[in-house]
Structure 1
Amino acid sequence: RVLPLALALLAAAFTVAATPTGFIAVAPFLVSLRPLVRLVRQHIAVSGRAAVLGPILGAGLLVLVVCFADQTLAGVLEASRIRTEIGPNLSWFQEPMRYEELFSNLPDGALARRFPVLLLLLCLGTTGVVLLRRGRIPGAGLGPSRRLIGTAGISLVLLALTPTKWTHHFGAFASIGAALAALTALATSSSVLRSARNRWWFLSGLLVILAMSSTGPNAPWYVSQYGVPWYDKPPSIHGIQASTLLIVGAALAGLIAVIEGLRHEPGEPPPAAPEPQRRNGRRRALLIGSAPLAVFCGLLVLAEVGAMAKAIVKQRHGYSMGAANFAEITGHSCNLTDAVLVEADRRTGALRPLRATLLADIPLQRGFETNRSPLDQALPTSPPSESNGTADNQGTGSRGDRIPKQGTDGDNPVEKPPTGLGGAEIPIWSSFSPDSPGTGILRSTWYALPAAASQGSAPVVVSVAGRLSPTTPLVAEFARRTERGFNVVDHLQINGRATADGPGWRDYRLGLAGRAAAGADAVRLVATDADVTDDGWLAFSAPRVPVLSSLTDLVAPTPPVFLDWPVGFVHPCVRPFAIRNGIAEIPQYRLLPDKMLANDSKSWSSADAGGPIGWLQILATQQEVPTYLKENWDTDWGKLMVIQPRVPDAEPPVLQTGTAVRMGWWSPGPLRSGGQTAEISQLGR
C-alpha cells in the first residue's frame, strides 16, 4: 500500500524540479492528506517509523541527486537569483494577467487554448454543484470524486505561484481535465440529472463556452500558423461568425430548458426498475450524458486537424509545420531552414534595361533625382530668426529637415540605401527636396523579366523609402514585348505588406504566380508625387528579381550561429555557437524570429539581462541579409544577420586551465545583471 505513495512522490518531485508548472503535482497530495496520514500511521504501527518513512523520504528526495549531479548549491542559488532579477518574475496576485492573455486576439488567446480552459471551469462547476446537491455522483466513488474535484480546484490556485503567466501553461491540466470531463459525463447523465431541464441547461452552457472560444482566432503559435485558415481572425462560415451561430444555439437550448421547467413539476423520482433494466438504462444514460461533451470535443479536434491538413495542402510548394514534421518522420528535414531562401547580393538580381522607340515607352523623369539618397540631401533644421523669432520662409532650407530625427519614427529610420542599391545596376530615384515641396512624376525604362519571376520561383522586389499614399502612388506595370512596342498586361500597385515599417528603406515583394503579370516579359515603374507636405516625399529603387539560395546551404551545419529565442525550435540543423571554458565562440550569423516575437527575443539576450548581445555589440557589427520564405515572399518569418567582427584577424585568447575541488556552497562571486554592481556574496567568502 505504500509503494503507490512512493512512486507518486517520485513523479511529483521530478515534475516540480522540471518546471514551475509542476507545482500542480502537489495538489493530489494536499486533497488526500488526511487518508494518506492515516495510511502512514497504520503502517508505522505495524512496521516501525524507519521502515515506512525511509522509502517515502527516499522517493521524494531522490530528485536532489539528479539536480546536483552537475551543479553546486551555490550555482543553483545564483541561477535562481539571476532569473528572478531578469524576469519575468510575476507575483501570485498578477495571475489575472494569464486570463487576460487567454481572451486576447493573439495566439495566446487562440480557440484551441481558450476552449479547454473554459471547458475545465464548466466541468469543475458542474461536478461541484451535483456533488453538493446530491451528496455523491452515482456511478463514481465518493472519495475519488471529491479528490478529483479538489485537485482541479487547488491546481488552479497553485498555478498562480508560477513566475510567468503564459496561457500554454494550462496544458498541464490535460490529464486532470480529461478525468474531470469523464466525471462530468457521469454527473450529467439522465440517471443523475433526471430533469431534462438541467441537461438542456448544461448543453446551453457548453454552447456558450464554445461561442466564447470562437471569438478568438484559430492561431497556432509562431510559424505553425502558416497556411492555417482563420489564423488572424475568429472563425466564420460564409461571412457569419461561428460565435454568433453558437450563441444562437445556446439561446435555443436555454429556451428549451425553460420550457421543460414549465412543463414538468418537480416530483418524486420514478420507481426503481429491475436490476437488468437498471443496468442497461445506466449504460444508456451514460451514453446520452457524455454525448454533448464527446461530440463537441471530437468536432473541435477534427476541425483543428483539418485546419493543419488544409495548411499542408495550401503550402505544398512553401512551408507548413505539418509538412515539415512529415518530412522529418519519412526522411531528413531541417524544418524552416529548408524553406528560407537567401539573397546574398542584391546586385545579382539587377534587370537588363530594354530599348524603347514609342513615346509611351520612353522613360519620363520630372522632379525625381537619380541616385541621390534623401539622407544625403537633408539639411539641418533652420534656426529661428533672431529678429522676429520665426523661421525665414524665403531662404534656402526654409522647409527644414523633412526627415524625422533618429528614434522618432519607430524601428526603421531613414538611412542610406541598403548595400547594392544605387548606381548603374540598380538605380534609385528620389523626389525629396530640402527646400521645396518635391513633387514630380517618373516613368522608368522597361526592364526584362527573367523566367524565375514569370514561373513564380522568385518575386519582383522594389525597395522604397518615404511614404506611399494616394498622393504618392507607385505602380509596377507588366507588359509583353511586341513588334509595335510594349503591350501592358497588368498593373500592380506597390503597397500592402513590406519587410519593415516606414519611412525607412523596406522591400515590397510582388509574387506573379496566378496573376496576369505571370505572362509578361517586361516591367517598369510609374511614380507620382503630388504631396506638398513635409513628409510627402518618395524614394524607390529599380525593380530586381533576386537570385536565391537555400538558407540550409549557408548556415547548416558547420558555421556557429546565434539563435534567438524561439528560433531554435524550427532550425534543428543549425549549430549554436559554443561556450568552452567560459569563452564564447563568435557566431558568423544570427537568426531572429518574426516581428511579433522579436521584442521578447531581444529582452532575454540584451546586455541588461546579461545576454550575448552585450559582448556581441562590442566585438562585431550586424548587417541584415535579405531573405524570403519560399512561395510566401512577403511573409515575415524572421531575419538573417551576418555578424562581422570589428577585428577580423584577432588572435584567440590563450587559456590556462586546471582543476580545483571546492565545497558546494563556494562561489567566485555573483554575476552582474540588470545594471547592478557586483558584490561579494556571503557564500563566496
Structure 2
Amino acid sequence: MATETAPGALQQLPSTSVSDAGANYRIARFVAAVAGLLGTILALATPLLPVKETTAQLNWPQSGTFTSVEAPLISYVATELNIAIPCQAAAGLAGPQNTGKTVLLSTVPKQAPNAVDRGLLIQRANDDLVLVVRNVPVVSAPLSQVLSPACQQLSFTAHADKVAAEFVGLKQGPNAEHAGEPLRGERSGYDFRPQIVGVFTDLSGPTPPGLSFSATVDTRYSSSPTPLKMAAMILGLLSTAVALVALHVLDTADGTRHRRILPQRWWSIGGLDALVIAVLVWWHFVGANTSDDGYILTMARVSERAGYMANYYRWFGTPEAPFGWYYDLLALWAHVSTASVWMRLPTLAMALTCWWLISREVIPRLGHAVKHSRAAAWTAAGMFLAVWLPLNNGLRPEPIIALGILLTWCSVERAVSTSRLLPVAIACILGALTLFSGPTGIASIGALLVAIGPLRTILHRRYKQFGALPLLAPLLAAATVTAILIFRDQTFAGETQASLLKRAVGPSLKWFDEHIRYERLFMASPDGSVARRFAVLALVVALAVAVAMSLRKRRIPGTAAGPSRRIIGITIISFLAMMFTPTKWTHHFGVFAGLAGSLGALAAVAVTGAAMRSRRNRTVFAAVVIFVMALSFASVNGWWYVSNFGVPWSNSFPKWRWSLTTALLELSVVVLVVAAWFNFVDTDDGSPKTRIGARLARIIQSPLAIATWLLVIMEVASLTLGMISQYPAWSVGRSNLQAVTGKTCGLAEDVLVELDPDAGMLPPVSAPVAEALGAGLSESFTPNGIPADVSADPVMERPGDRSFINDDGLVTGTEAGTEGGTTAAPGINGSRARLPFNLDPARTPVLGSWRAGIQVPALLRSGWYRLPPKEERNKTPLLVVSAAGRFDPREVQVQWATDDQAASGHPGGSMSFADVGAVPAWRNLRAPLSAIPDSATQIRLVADDEDLAPQHWIALTPPRIPRLRTLQDVVGSKDPVFLDWLVGLAFPCQRPFGHQNGVVETPKWRILPDRFGAEANSPVMDKNGGGPLGIAELLLRATTVASYLKDDWFRDWGSLQRLTPYYPDAEPARLQLGTVTRSGLWNPAPMRKG
C-alpha cells in the first residue's frame, strides 16, 4: 500500500544537536581521552622501564688445578676482564723438561689460526714471558726475572677504552724509556679487549694461591621484564583496548547501523578459488623455499634456551628486535615439529588469506567494472601467484608483510566507507605490526600514509562534536602499542646499541644503492631467475598501465577512484620505501604479493575494450607483456640450494627445441608490427558474432592473465618434474610428502656418511698394500708427487654478494682437511702428504705426478685389487678413489677383469670416474659399481698425465667400496651441530648448538651446503660479522667426513665436518650467575665490532 509523505515531514524527524551529542557521550569522550593518553604514555615508557638481567661471571681456575675450560662468548669479548697470576706460576714453563709447554694462560687455543691476532696469550717466547693481546705485546719480562723473588704477580685488566698489564714488583731496565718505573704496559686508542672462547693453559697440577681470571660476560640481552615493567605493559594494553572501545562508542554517534565485517559470500568457494587453493597447497609440498629459511628456523629453535631471539648467524648475538616478534611466533610453532611442511603452514595460511582478501575485499571495492570482470579476477589470481610462489614459500617475513599491507588497506577503506575512526585505529595497529615484522616491513609505510587523507576528513567531521583529544588519543595509543611487543623484554639502550652495531658491521647499504637489487634481478642466478624476474616485471607493467590510465582519464573507466588511487599510491610508496632497507635482495619483492594481485585486477580492466578503446594500444600492451616474458626467460630456472635438485633448466636458459627467450622476443616483434598495422588501418568490424568467438576475444584481450598463468604453470610443472626425475633420490617435494607419513628428518636420512674410509679399502691381489698402487707401472708417479698446498681454487662471487666479499669478486675457501699439507712422519709408502677424509697414512699409500720445476709425462697403472663377492657389492653401489689435482676425468679410469683376464694382462673393460668436488683439492672420485659386470673379480686404476703444465697433475689413493651410514645415524638429534644457515630447513632433526647467558655451546659437527653455497655464504658467519664461524675456527679443528647423496651419487649436496677441540680435555666452564635490575638506559660497554 502506498503512503504519502506530508510536506516538511523530513524536517520533523527527531535529531540530536551537536551539543546534545557531546553531552550524551561525555563518559565515552573522557574514557577515550584518558585511556588513550595513558596507553600512549605507557607504550612509550616501556623501552625505558627497568628489566631484570641475568648476569654471568667466568671465573678460573674452577677446580683448583690447571685445567682448561671452554667458554666461547657469543659477543666475542667480555665487558670487563681482570687477571692476576702469581709470578711463580711461570715456573711450569721453565727448564728443559717443559720445552713443549709455552702458554701460561690464553683466551684462545694457541694452535688455532689467527689465535695471536684475536686473543690474549701469556706465553714463553724464547727466554721471555710475553703478554700479547690481539697481536700487540703489552708487557714482557725475562723469565728469569719473573721467577725471581722480586716479582709478585702479573696483573692484567681490559676495558673497552684500554688494556693494561703489570709485573708487580719488577722495574723497567736501565735502557728503558722510564728506567726504574714499575714494569707495566698499556694500550689505548682502540678496543683491545681479547676474544674469549675459554681459558687454556699448557700447565698441569694444582694452581697456586692468588691465581685468578675473572671475565664479566656480556649478558645485556639476557633479560626479562621486572614486575614494574610487566604491570606497565599490561596496563598499557588494557588502556589501549579500553580507548578503542570508547572510540567505537563515539563512532556510533553517527546513528548508522553496524556493518558486517565479512560479506556474505566470504566463505563461498568458486572455481577460481579452488584452483588457487590447489596451486598453493601443491606448491606447499613441491615448491622451492627461500635462501633464509634455515637461518630463521635455527634462530627460532635456539631462542627458547637462549631467552631471547638472537641473530644467531651474525652480529655478535644481538637480538633481532625490533623485528623479532614474527620469529617468536615461529619459535612457538616449532615446539610441535621442525619439519619444513609443518613450519611453513602459517605461510600457506597467509597465502590463502591474502587471496581471500583480494577476491572478497579488494576487488569489490575497486569498482563495478573490476567486480564483474572475469578477466580481472583471473589476472589478479595469476599476478598474486606469480609473485607469491617464487618469493614467499618459506619462513621469511615477506608473507606476513604482504598480508599486513592488505589488511591495513582494507581497514583504511572500511574507515572511508563508514566514516568511522575505529577502523583507522585498527589500521594503525596492523600497519605498525607489519612495519616491525622484518626490515622489509618498511614497505607497509605506504598503507599507513594513504590513511592520512581519510583520517583528516573523518576528524574534521567529528571534531566539532567531540573535540580533538578524545579522537586522537585512541589513535595515538593504537599507533604506539606495538612498542610494548617490541620492547617487552629488552631496553631502549640495548636495542639502540644493537642497531648501531648492525649498521657498523653491515651489510648496511644506502638508499642510493637500490640499483643493486635490480642488478641482482637481471643476473642469471636464483636471485634473478625466470620466476622472480617475471614477477617483478609484471608488477611494474601492471603499475605502469594503471598509473597511465589514471593520469589520462582521471580514473580507470568503471573503477572506484578513491580505492584505486590508494592501491596505486601504496605500491608506489612501497617501492620508494624499499630503497631504505639495509640489504638489497630480490626476495624482498615478496611484500608486493597482495598488491600485485590488486594491481593485476586494475590493469586487466584498464586494457579492456571498454576502457582502452584503441585496438592499437591494446596490441602494444600485449607486445609489452610478451617482451617481459622474453626478458624473463633470458635467465635460469634456478632455485636455492636443495630446491634446485632435478629441476629442468636450473643452470641454463629454458628452451624446448629452440630458445624460449628468442622465440618470445620474435613474437613480441610480430605483435608490435600488428599494432603498427592497426595504427594505420582500422579493421575493427564490431563484436564477435559467435559465443566461442566472444570468449576467445575476451581471452585475447587479457594478455597479462595469460602470461601470468603460463608462468605459474611452468613453475609448478618444473618443480613437480624435478621431484619426479629425482625419484627415488631426495628432493624437496619427496621429503615434504614423506613428512606427512612421519619421516620428518629431511636430507639427514638420505645423506650417507663414510666414517672409516680405510675399512672399505679393496685388498691387493698379489702385491703388498704399500706397493700395490704402483705395482703395474709407475712412471713419474711418486709418493711425494703432491704439492704441499692443494687448496681449492676460488669460486667467482655469486651475483649480488658484494656485501660480504672482497673487491676482486672472488670467494676463497675449501672443505676442511682437503687442502693438503705435510706430516712429520712418512706414511706406509714413504709419502709425507696429509691425507683427507680420515684416511690413515699408515694404511693408505698415495702417489702423485707433480714435481717441482720442469714437469714430465707420467703414467700409472696400479696392481689388481680384489672385488668383494656380488652379494656384498649390492650393499654399496659406489666405487670411490680419493684424488687430488687438476685433470680431466677421462685421464683417470678404472679397469676390470676376471681372474683369467687379469692374469693375462687384458682387462675386460674400463670407465671414467665422476669428479665431484673442488679442484685441485682432495675429493672423492666416484663410479657406479653397477657398471662393472658381475663376472669381474678384480679392478685396477690407470692414470695418464701427459699435460706438462705445472698446475696439471694427478694424485691418487687405492680404490675402496665405502661402508655407509645415514647422517641421521651418525650425527643424531642430540649432539650440538653447527648448521650453516642455508641447510637449517633441510636438516630439521639435527640440534643446532645453543647459547645461554652469553656463552655458546660447543658444537661437535658442522653441516655445510654445496661448495658454492658454503664458500659464498661463510663470510656472513665469520669473525668480521660476529658470527659462529668466528668462534668455531678458534676453538675447534674441522675435518671433512666423506659423504654421498643416496641414489644421486654424483651430486655435490654439501658436506659434513667433524669438529674436534684443540684442547680435547677442556671442559665446559661453570658460570657464576646472578640477577640485577637494569635501567632502560643502562649500557655496560660498547660492543666490539670484530
TM-score (norm 1): 0.84
Gaps (5+ residues) in structure 2?
A: 1-419, 768-772, 791-809, 822-833
Alignment correspondent of 2:423: 4
Alignment correspondent of 1:567: 983
Question: Does structure 1 conserve the Cα–Cα contact (< 8 Å) formed by 2:617 and 2:675?
Answer: yes
1:83 aligns with 2:502: yes
Gaps (5+ residues) in structure 1?
A: 379-406, 675-685
For residues 189-338 of structure 1, the aligned pairs below 5 Å read: 189-238=608-657, 240-264=658-682, 287-288=698-699, 291-338=702-749
**Offset, 1:454:** 6.0
* CA deviation vs aligned residue, 1:299-318 (integer Å, no higher than 9, x gap): 21121111111111111121
SS at match of 1:661: strand
Alignment correspondent of 1:477: 895
Q: How many residues align?
A: 627
**Offset, 1:476:** 1.9
1:658 aligns with 2:1070: no
**Offset, 1:226:** 0.4
Alignment correspondent of 1:352: 763
Alignment correspondent of 1:367: 779
> Residue 156 and residue 420 in structure 1: after superposition, are their counterparts in 2 closer, same or farther (change >3 A)?
closer
> Residue 314 and residue 469 in structure 1: after superposition, are their counterparts in 2 closer, same or farther (change >3 A)?
closer
**Offset, 1:101:** 0.4
Letter in 2 for 1:505: W
**Offset, 1:613:** 2.9
State how far apart, in whole Å, the 2-side matches of 1:231 and 1:599 are: 20
**Offset, 1:193:** 1.5
Alignment correspondent of 1:458: 877
* CA deviation vs aligned residue, 1:261-299 (integer Å, no higher than 9, x gap): 211299xx99xx9xxx9xx9xx97994476322222122
Alignment correspondent of 1:399: none
* CA deviation vs aligned residue, 1:131-171 (integer Å, no higher than 9, x gap): 22222212210111222122212211111110000001011
Residue number among 88, 94, 100 corresponding to 2:519 in the alignment? 100
* CA deviation vs aligned residue, 1:209-239 (integer Å, no higher than 9, x gap): 000000110011121000100000110002x
Alignment correspondent of 1:505: 922
**Offset, 1:519:** 7.5
CA RMSD between the two structures: 3.2
For residues 125-144 of structure 1, the aligned pairs below 5 Å read: 125-144=544-563
For residues 18-57 of structure 1, the aligned pairs below 5 Å read: 18-57=437-476
> Residue 518 and residue 113 in structure 1: after superposition, are their counterparts in 2 closer, same or farther (change >3 A)?
farther
> Residue 490 and residue 75 in structure 1: after superposition, are their counterparts in 2 closer, same or farther (change >3 A)?
farther
Question: Does structure 2 conserve the Cα–Cα contact (< 8 Å) formed by 1:623 and 1:641?
Answer: yes
SS at match of 1:644: strand
For residues 432-471 of structure 1, the aligned pairs below 5 Å read: 432-434=850-852, 437-450=855-868, 451=870, 455=874, 457-469=876-888
**Offset, 1:375:** 4.6
Percent identical pairs in the alignment equals 36
Out of 517-526 and 169-178, give the one that drifted further.
517-526
State how far apart, in whole Å, the 1-side matches of 2:700 and 2:1013 are: 43
State how far apart, in whole Å, the 2-side matches of 1:162 and 1:409 are: 28
State how far apart, in whole Å, the 2-side matches of 1:665 and 1:476 are: 70
Question: Does structure 2 conserve the Cα–Cα contact (< 8 Å) formed by 1:500 and 1:507?
Answer: no
SS at match of 2:1023: coil
State how far apart, in whole Å, the 2-side matches of 1:116 and 1:409 are: 33
Question: Does structure 2 conserve the Cα–Cα contact (< 8 Å) formed by 1:190 and 1:289?
Answer: no
State how far apart, in whole Å, the 2-side matches of 1:317 and 1:466 are: 33
Letter in 2 for 1:511: P
Question: Does structure 2 conserve the Cα–Cα contact (< 8 Å) formed by 1:364 and 1:444?
Answer: yes
TM-score (norm 2): 0.54
**Offset, 1:452:** 8.4
Question: Does structure 2 conserve the Cα–Cα contact (< 8 Å) formed by 1:453 and 1:512?
Answer: no
**Offset, 1:186:** 0.4
Alignment correspondent of 1:632: 1048
> Residue 5 and residue 637 in structure 1: after superposition, are their counterparts in 2 closer, same or farther (change >3 A)?
same
Question: Does structure 2 conserve the Cα–Cα contact (< 8 Å) formed by 1:619 and 1:645?
Answer: yes
**Offset, 1:660:** 0.9
Out of 571-580 and 204-213, give the one that drifted further.
571-580
Letter in 2 for 1:227: G
Alignment correspondent of 1:341: 752
Larger Rg over CA atoms: 2
> Residue 550 and residue 579 in structure 1: after superposition, are their counterparts in 2 closer, same or farther (change >3 A)?
same
SS at match of 2:702: helix
Out of 597-606 and 205-214, give the one that drifted further.
597-606
Out of 166-175 and 188-197, give the one that drifted further.
188-197
> Residue 173 and residue 66 in structure 1: after superposition, are their counterparts in 2 closer, same or farther (change >3 A)?
same
SS at match of 1:189: coil
Out of 410-419 and 65-74, give the one that drifted further.
410-419
Alignment correspondent of 1:428: 846
1:553 aligns with 2:989: no
State how far apart, in whole Å, the 2-side matches of 1:433 and 1:260 are: 74
State how far apart, in whole Å, the 2-side matches of 1:362 and 1:638 are: 32
SS at match of 1:175: helix
* CA deviation vs aligned residue, 1:561-590 (integer Å, no higher than 9, x gap): 112222212211111112122222111111
Question: Does structure 1 conserve the Cα–Cα contact (< 8 Å) formed by 2:811 and 2:1015?
Answer: no
Letter in 1 for 2:432: A
* CA deviation vs aligned residue, 1:427-464 (integer Å, no higher than 9, x gap): 32223344663433221123234458965943222222
Alignment correspondent of 2:1011: 595
**Offset, 1:516:** 6.4
> Residue 63 and residue 479 in structure 1: after superposition, are their counterparts in 2 closer, same or farther (change >3 A)?
farther
Question: Does structure 1 conserve the Cα–Cα contact (< 8 Å) formed by 2:785 and 2:848?
Answer: yes
Alignment correspondent of 1:381: none
1:607 aligns with 2:1023: yes
Letter in 2 for 1:229: P
State how far apart, in whole Å, the 2-side matches of 1:413 and 1:81 are: 38
State how far apart, in whole Å, the 2-side matches of 1:80 and 1:440 are: 59
> Residue 261 and residue 575 in structure 1: after superposition, are their counterparts in 2 closer, same or farther (change >3 A)?
same
SS at match of 2:978: strand
SS at match of 1:185: helix
Alignment correspondent of 2:227: none
**Offset, 1:377:** 12
**Offset, 1:368:** 4.2
State how far apart, in whole Å, the 2-side matches of 1:662 and 1:248 are: 68
Question: Does structure 2 conserve the Cα–Cα contact (< 8 Å) formed by 1:208 and 1:246?
Answer: yes
Question: Does structure 1 conserve the Cα–Cα contact (< 8 Å) formed by 2:811 and 2:1016?
Answer: no
Out of 309-318 and 420-429, give the one that drifted further.
420-429
**Offset, 1:255:** 1.5
State how far apart, in whole Å, the 2-side matches of 1:362 and 1:347 are: 18
Alignment correspondent of 1:620: 1036
> Residue 439 and residue 190 in structure 1: after superposition, are their counterparts in 2 closer, same or farther (change >3 A)?
same
Letter in 2 for 1:610: G
Question: Does structure 1 conserve the Cα–Cα contact (< 8 Å) formed by 2:781 and 2:858?
Answer: no
State how far apart, in whole Å, the 2-side matches of 1:454 and 1:542 are: 17
